[in-house]
Structure 1
Amino acid sequence: MSSNTIYQTPLSSRYASKEMAELFSPATRFSTWRQLWLWLAKAEKQLGLPISDEAISQMEAHLELTDEDFKVAAEEEARRRHDVMAHVHAYGQNAPAAAGIIHWGATSCYCTDNADLIFLKKGLDLLLPKLANVIKKLADFAIEYKDMATLGYTHYQAAQLTTVGKRACLWIQDLLFDLRNLTRARDDLGFRGVKGTTGTQASFLAIFEGDHDKVEELDRLVTEFAGFKYAYPITSQTYSRKIDADVISALSSFGATCQRIGSDIRHLAATKEIEEPFEKDQIGSSAMAYKRNPMRSERMCSLGRHLANLNKDALDTYAAQWFERTLDDSAIRRIDIPSSFLTADILLRILDNVVSGLVVYPAVINRRIRDELPFMATENFIMRLVALGGSRQDAHEKIRVLSHEASAVVKLQGKDNDLIERIKKDEFFKPIWGEIDALMDPSTFVGRAPQQVEKFVALEVAKALEPWKGTFSTEVSQLSV
């Protein structure tokens, strides 16, 4: 069948990076199973079991599957209804000298679970430098715009001024939390190792004729071959599905961060203060040719929502496991683990593309400040009048009346805010007429925002990014349609 006549997930067919899509491919999965069987055989041979050099050599020569191997495995699975045994059979055909010792003492979860832990680790290794690179680019943006005053919004209503760079730091700080969470999740990962059917290692104790030391050494050797620092000391037939929940929870939290950032950019695009990149020949709307829709940020919110909700699947799957294991975790994990990593990878590509080309419109930002600043500046006027000997209550009442008059002009007549002109014509404010423009300088309304940006980037961001300094790139992630 043509790929155009069957459903494919857009995560892999449309959006994901090549390296992440390959990590969760059938070729990678089943070649990893073969690698795990080879490690087991090598460790068992090293500990004295009768496994020939020829068996090891044949196994080593056939770690990668051919199209014929996939065909053999598919036919065997259709007959046996067991994917692991189908691939044991296919591998045995490639390595006949090893056919009798492949999977010796192991249960299916020896290859499936250990492979999944390898994929979790490699997946996080792919994501973390990409996340660090996005944070670095946003930090550079924050420094560039640390002094540029802009309207702050609370309740999506105009509030005290902040700066463009300070707002970017809100995004950066949340991404730093994600960097910390994903790093910890990766560093905490252990290996299932060699534990047998219910985690008791009984089959391996039988193989080694009751030698506990050899069983423990077998577990240690295979774990070392796989590149893990330790194996979980306690497992059932599977490693605890709480591990999946831990990793996916960190990824889901990152998905929520992407929704937050994407939503902010979409709102700023609506007010024409900041926009995501828009390509020369890009079409915003099939009907409205003038549109510049924030499609990247909308995609980020859409996929972020999907990723954030996968956390519930992982928690429910963990909670539903009975005793030493049940198989109701299998199908959903085949979907959710790749989906969570592919989605996170896609989100990082979108984030990188967006933050690499954010467009700031200072004239629009200044105009919006001018529209709102007169109201915000009135407290400064009152305080200055009091400092010159005036009555705070009288000043407050004057400001209240004039503000309501100016507000009515804006709301009912659609005209510009003329509060300052009214104040400059009112004799009550004559003592501060000469200071009004200085009291209206936007830079005096941003508090310590510029200093906060500088300190945050120099200390918190720099410290968090130190392990990733050698991975930074100025290249921009290119997005599919």
Structure 2
Amino acid sequence: MSDETRYVNPLISRYASRSMAELWGNQRRFSTWRQLWIVLAQAERDLGLDITEQQIAQMQATRESIDFDAAKDYERRFRHDVMAHVHAFGDVAPSARGIIHLGATSCFVTDNAELLLIRDGLGLIEQHLRGVMGNLARFAREQRDQVTLGFTHLQPAQPTTVGKRACLWLHDFLLDFEELRHRLATLRLRGVKGTTGTQASFLALFDGDHEKVRQLDRMVAQRLGFDEVYPVTGQTYSRKIDSHVLDLLSGIAQSAHKCATDLRILAHRKEIEEPFEKEQIGSSAMAYKRNPMRSERICGLARFVMSLTSNAAQTHATQWLERTLDDSANRRLTIPQAFLGVDALLRLMINVSNGLVVYPKVIGRSLSEELPFMATEAILMAAVREGGDRQELHERIRLHSQAAASRVKTQGEPNDLLDRLRGDEAFGNVDWKQVLDPKLFVGRAPEQVDEFLDEVVMPMLGDSEAPSDAEIDV
């Protein structure tokens, strides 16, 4: 069947990067299995087993030469994917046929390969996260003092700045970045543990020499770039590790969903928009529309990734004793697709955050409509400083505010609270220009942006740069 007659996963055909798709592809996975068999044989030879240089050289020379049709034929016969690939490898490295997989169980290749792929996948995600954070940091700096309405309960609240709001998005991704680095720092190899984690087969190979078995475990890990192995395992490494990784990926998806949702709300208010291409079509029917399609796509992908965490949690919780096999089919789906989903949404986030469009006049108009209500405390204090009675002035403001609000809500007219107060002789000495300066209402928001970027974000990002928009195909 061609790709046009059968279902093809959109994560591969539409959304994820080629790098991430190839990471979880068969060539990478099964050549990693072969790498593990090679490293195991090298370590076993170095520790005294009868394995020759010729055998290892033949394995190395054919590591990438995988006959997938032959492997499929073997799997149909054996109903066992690992043994199918042992035989397929033996066909192209015949001198090594007898020592491939020596002393190992299937999880030596499947689990260790999974950990290698997870490590490299997290490395790709880290690059994308740096890109998003770099773009948001630059945007926050540029918009540090652009005053805008703040919102609580999705209702107008005390003003903030566009840059400070961007720092809220950035801080979420920063927390994800810290968690990712922790996961990378603590990720270990399963190592050489045997069928139930006891290393019995390797102890037999080395005639009861416990120290050589321990050395074998360490040597295999070090040659694959790991400083440590998990100290104890059953047949598999603990599926708690998978749960931790999917929790991390879900956290990144949550941050992206929150940011993209905010951008959709701001697009609705016509205050900030995602980039819109010259020939982009927003709607097939309504030609005037500029829908936030990329932000919506981010939210859709994020929801999918977030939904996968329960799979990892339940898989870990239901692994009986030293292991069961009901994890296998589930993990083939959830782990790669979580990485592919996060890869896709972060690439979208890089594109969106690199081209955000701000409309200061619309922001100013929205602010001016609500500022009179928010400025009443400053007006009250200014009038008191000029000799007014605080309680009397408070009552006048209350009455004027209610009248203005009624006019806005029931008649659809502009807010005339300031005109009412200016016309009230009790406020005749107020310096209106000073009390209505929007910058007086944002507190330390601009300074918070500078401090957050200079003291927290930039030291963590270092000299890393976000990928250019040209490098991100969305």
Structure 2 length-normalised TM? 0.98
Question: Shift in Å at residue 117 of structure 1?
Answer: 0.3
Q: Which residue of 1 aligns with 2:44?
A: 44
Question: Shift in Å at residue 477 of structure 1?
Answer: 4.6
Q: Which residue of 2 aligns with 1:405?
A: 403
Q: Which residue of 1 aligns with 2:57?
A: 57
Q: Which residue of 2 aligns with 1:30?
A: 30
Q: Which residue of 2 aligns with 1:456?
A: 452
Q: Which residue of 2 aligns with 1:375?
A: 373
Deviating 4+ runs (over 4 angstroms): none
In the TM superposition, what whole-angstrom CA distance separates every residue of 1:50-85 from its partner, at most 9, and x where no partner exists? 11222111101111134xx10010011011100000
Hey, what's the Cα distance between the residues in 1 that align with 2:348 and 2:413?
A: 39
User: SS where residue 336 of structure 1 aligns?
Assistant: helix
Question: Shift in Å at residue 479 of structure 1?
Answer: 3.5
Q: Which residue of 1 aligns with 2:289?
A: 291
User: SS where residue 327 of structure 1 aligns?
Assistant: coil
The amino acid that maps onto 1:371 is: E
Q: 1:115 aligns with which of 113, 116, 127?
A: 113
In the TM superposition, what whole-angstrom CA distance separates every residue of 1:248-284 from its partner, at most 9, and x where no partner exists? 1111111111110011000000000000011111111
Hey, what's the Cα distance between the residues in 2 that align with 1:393 and 1:471?
A: 56
Tell me, yes or no, if the aligned pair for 1:194 and 1:222 is still in contact at 8 Å: yes
Q: Which residue of 1 aligns with 2:73?
A: 75
Q: Which residue of 2 aligns with 1:231?
A: 229
Hey, what's the Cα distance between the residues in 2 that align with 1:274 and 1:470?
A: 26
Hey, what's the Cα distance between the residues in 2 that align with 1:410 and 1:386?
A: 28
The amino acid that maps onto 2:452 is: F
In the TM superposition, what whole-angstrom CA distance separates every residue of 1:293-339 from its partner, at most 9, and x where no partner exists? 10100011111111122111111110010110000110010001101
Hey, what's the Cα distance between the residues in 2 that align with 1:257 and 1:476?
A: 24
Hey, what's the Cα distance between the residues in 1 that align with 2:56 and 2:6?
A: 40
User: SS where residue 151 of structure 1 aligns?
Assistant: strand
Tell me, yes or no, if the aligned pair for 2:240 and 2:313 is still in contact at 8 Å: yes
Hey, what's the Cα distance between the residues in 1 that align with 2:307 and 2:313?
A: 11
In the TM superposition, what whole-angstrom CA distance separates every residue of 1:24-57 from its partner, at most 9, and x where no partner exists? 0011110000110011111111111111222111
Question: Shift in Å at residue 224 of structure 1?
Answer: 1.0
Q: Which residue of 2 aligns with 1:392?
A: 390
In the TM superposition, what whole-angstrom CA distance separates every residue of 1:152-185 from its partner, at most 9, and x where no partner exists? 0000000000000000000011110000011111
Hey, what's the Cα distance between the residues in 1 that align with 2:89 and 2:283?
A: 53
Q: Which residue of 2 aligns with 1:282?
A: 280
The amino acid that maps onto 1:360 is: V
Question: Shift in Å at residue 471 of structure 1?
Answer: 5.0
1:145 aligns with 2:146: no
Q: Which residue of 1 aligns with 2:131?
A: 133
Tell me, yes or no, if the aligned pair for 2:383 and 2:426 is still in contact at 8 Å: no
Q: Which residue of 2 aligns with 1:218?
A: 216
Tell me, yes or no, if the aligned pair for 1:59 and 1:95 is still in contact at 8 Å: yes
Hey, what's the Cα distance between the residues in 2 that align with 1:203 and 1:407?
A: 81
Hey, what's the Cα distance between the residues in 2 that align with 1:106 and 1:478?
A: 42
Q: Which residue of 2 aligns with 1:317?
A: 315
User: SS where residue 160 of structure 2 aligns?
Assistant: strand
Q: 1:428 aligns with which of 423, 426, 436?
A: 426
Moved more, 200-209 or 132-141: 132-141
Question: Shift in Å at residue 2 of structure 1?
Answer: 0.8
Q: Residues 334-373 of structure 1: matches in 2 within 5 Å?
A: 334-373=332-371
Tell me, yes or no, if the aligned pair for 1:44 and 1:218 is still in contact at 8 Å: yes
User: SS where residue 293 of structure 1 aligns?
Assistant: coil
The amino acid that maps onto 1:452 is: Q
Q: 2:330 aligns with which of 318, 332, 337?
A: 332
| CA RMSD across the alignment | 1.0
Aligned length: 474
Q: Which residue of 2 aligns with 1:249?
A: 247
Identity value in percent: 54
Hey, what's the Cα distance between the residues in 2 that align with 1:472 and 1:145?
A: 18
The amino acid that maps onto 1:194 is: V
Tell me, yes or no, if the aligned pair for 1:356 and 1:476 is still in contact at 8 Å: no
Hey, what's the Cα distance between the residues in 1 that align with 2:453 and 2:221?
A: 39
Q: Which residue of 1 aligns with 2:84?
A: 86
Question: Shift in Å at residue 475 of structure 1?
Answer: 3.9
Q: Which residue of 1 aligns with 2:20?
A: 20
Structure 1 length-normalised TM? 0.97
Hey, what's the Cα distance between the residues in 1 that align with 2:112 and 2:387?
A: 78
In the TM superposition, what whole-angstrom CA distance separates every residue of 1:331-375 from its partner, at most 9, and x where no partner exists? 010001101111111111010000000000000000000100011
Hey, what's the Cα distance between the residues in 2 that align with 1:179 and 1:53?
A: 43
1:191 aligns with 2:189: yes
User: SS where residue 227 of structure 1 aligns?
Assistant: coil
Tell me, yes or no, if the aligned pair for 1:258 and 1:301 is still in contact at 8 Å: yes
User: SS where residue 161 of structure 1 aligns?
Assistant: strand
Q: Residues 158-169 of structure 1: matches in 2 within 5 Å?
A: 158-169=156-167
Hey, what's the Cα distance between the residues in 1 that align with 2:322 and 2:471?
A: 44
The amino acid that maps onto 1:238 is: T
Question: Shift in Å at residue 389 of structure 1?
Answer: 2.1
Hey, what's the Cα distance between the residues in 1 that align with 2:219 and 2:255?
A: 40
Question: Shift in Å at residue 88 of structure 1?
Answer: 0.2
User: SS where residue 426 of structure 2 aligns?
Assistant: helix
Tell me, yes or no, if the aligned pair for 2:221 and 2:229 is still in contact at 8 Å: yes
The amino acid that maps onto 1:2 is: S
Question: Shift in Å at residue 476 of structure 1?
Answer: 4.5
Hey, what's the Cα distance between the residues in 2 that align with 1:136 and 1:470?
A: 8
The amino acid that maps onto 2:318 is: A
Q: 2:461 aligns with which of 453, 465, 469?
A: 465
Distance verdict in 2 for CA 1:256–1:88, change over 3 Å: same
The amino acid that maps onto 2:250 is: S
Q: Which residue of 2 aligns with 1:478?
A: 472
Question: Shift in Å at residue 429 of structure 1?
Answer: 1.5
User: SS where residue 431 of structure 1 aligns?
Assistant: coil
Question: Shift in Å at residue 478 of structure 1?
Answer: 3.0
